[in-house]
Amino acid sequence: MGRISGKDLSDKYSDFLEPCVRVITAAGEIPFGEGLYLERAEIIASVGMDPDMAVVACLADKYSAGGFTGVEKYLDAGQSVEIKTGYGEKASLVFQGYLHQVEVEDFRQEYVTYTLICLDVKGLMMKNSRLFTSGTKKAQQLVNDILKDSRYSSLIKKRTIDALPGKCNPDGVSGDMTDYDWLCSLAAYLDYEFFCSAGELTFRKARKPAGDTVELSVEYGLQKIRGIVSMAGQTGRIEVCGYSRQDQKLSGRADWPGVPGAFTGRLKQSLGSHKLICLDMQPDTGEEAQERAQALMDRLAGRCARMEAVTIGLPELMPGICVEIVNGEASSLSGRIYVEEVRHLLDEEGYRTSVSGSRI
């Protein structure tokens, strides 16, 4: 994994002049320009369980030479959508999905407003479920079956699927859950992430960075920084207790690991005497209970020290990468974060991107 500096990006995008958005459906690229104007585009992407979403609003001139309804041939619901952002002629993919909902409004003025709501492939996974007998497939096999299903392939450019922990690969259990619900429940249980950013489908251990680290600095467009340290939800120890199939008592334990950054020096001492005890009947060995306890603790600790930043629009900012915030004024406003959510926004005020995540 490399590093992308602010200067690298400034050189690439010619000092960030002429921000642009391109919206390409299966019917072709929407021809923004004379008579059809982009009002707002927002892309929300995260390593969380919700599908990534893009909302595009455009204005069509009723009295344009080609007629405002010409855009409608690009807007059939259900078709694939790609959204690229950037500057001038250089635009990079930030969203891959399908057109989930189309709205058209006429306020009896000179423009008609079209609003496009797009979801990534996880939206389609909400439309399918599968029936199988408990014990016929391990969870790993079912994960592979779903994520490689041909019904989803047109919206996926690349797959990254981590092997499940050897001690946490239970029998797949069928229920009234969709493909999406089943994957989300498994990811939450194992402290995995399940997301599809710009067509790259990922099912992996949480907070496991990939790709290049992007540097953000005031010199190259960093506009706002916010640091947060909170004891909310934190505890000094988690114990997982249960019983095996042979009715043997099981237990696992994980201690609070500490977190980096300012304002955290006394946390370990403050939390040391506190503990949460969780009853979990799924582990069948002490090692499985131990892994479950560690997964719960890692998730809690990841919420303790966090940072948010707003910068000039950068397509390179995606969920699942690392960002280095460079600010010499205070250590509390500088540091490295694992990016968990990204918002790309282009409107009348220009193009900007916000990121948030946990300190690492």
CB neighbour class for 286 (10 Å; exposed up to 12, middle 13-18, buried from 19): middle
Give the pLDDT of residue 170.
60
Give the pLDDT of residue 176.
75
pLDDT means over runs of 10, the chain (360 residues):
92 92 97 91 96 96 77 95 96 98 90 96 93 67 92 96 76 74 91 95 94 94 96 97 93 96 95 95 90 93 96 97 89 94 96 97
Give the pLDDT of residue 136.
56
| Closest to 326 measured CA to CA, from 209, 219, 212 | 219
The Cα-based distances of 191 to 47, 95, 204, 205 in angstroms read 12, 25, 9, 6
Give the pLDDT of residue 155.
97
Whether the CA torsion 198, 203, 206, 207 is positive or negative: it is negative
3-121+212-226+308-359 belongs to CATH 2.30.300.10: yes
pTM for this one?
0.92
Give the pLDDT of residue 66.
63
Topology adopted by domain 124-205: Phage tail protein beta-alpha-beta fold (3.55.50)
- Token readout for 60 is 């069509």
- Token readout for 138 is 């391990």
Distance (Å, whole) CA 183 – CA 189: 10
- Name every residue whose Cβ is closer than 8 Å to that of residue 154 and which is 6 or more positions away in sequence: 80
Q: CB of 218 within 8 A of CB of 205?
A: no
Give the pLDDT of residue 128.
92
Q: Where in the chain is the domain with CATH 2.30.300.10?
A: 3-121+212-226+308-359
Q: CB of 95 within 8 A of CB of 120?
A: yes
Q: CB of 280 within 8 A of CB of 292?
A: yes
Torsion of CA 58, 64, 68, 73, to 10 degrees: -90
> DSSP class of residue 182?
H
Q: Where in the chain is the domain with CATH 3.55.50.40?
A: 124-205
Give the pLDDT of residue 243.
94
> Is residue 31 classed as helix, strand or coil in its secondary structure?
coil
Distance (Å, whole) CA 241 – CA 70: 63
